[in-house]
Amino acid sequence: MRLTVHLDTFDRIHPMAFAILWLHRDTRQWSREGHFGLELPESGPLQIDCGNTLVCAPHSMVPMCVLEGLDLNDANEPVEGKVGRLQWCTEGARYPMTGHWRVTCIDTERTQSPNGVFSSEDDA
């Protein structure tokens, strides 16, 4: 299962800053599918901690942001339209900045990511 998650409301960075991420529940990887005003690498690992999803930098388990309340271990979650608070905690920020996340799409089909990040899967 893959989720499309929209991150926004980062007025301290840029009033129109956003990112669209693909989260792959099974492989615990994420891929950046679109962004403006936020510096994000193309992909990286995900961690789940105490019911939150941590979006980590490539080759690291250090979170760049935390999607509070998005629990990828919960079989009943997520649902399309679910929203929550996001803590942006990249290196340049002295204090974590708050934004919001929203699940915009849940894809249960086995297809490849447009960026090929999940190409290690045997998807057709």
How far apart CA 4 and CA 29 sit, in angstroms, is: 12
Confidence of residue 122 (pLDDT cuts 50, 70, 90): very low
pTM over 0.75: yes
- What is the per-residue pLDDT for 110? 58
Q: How confident is the model at residue 9 (pLDDT cuts 50, 70, 90)?
A: low
Q: Is the pLDDT of residue 54 over 90?
A: yes
What angle is formed at CA 28 by the lines to CA 22 and CA 34, rounded to 5 degrees?
Answer: 20
The whole-angstrom separation of Cα 122 and Cα 124 is 7
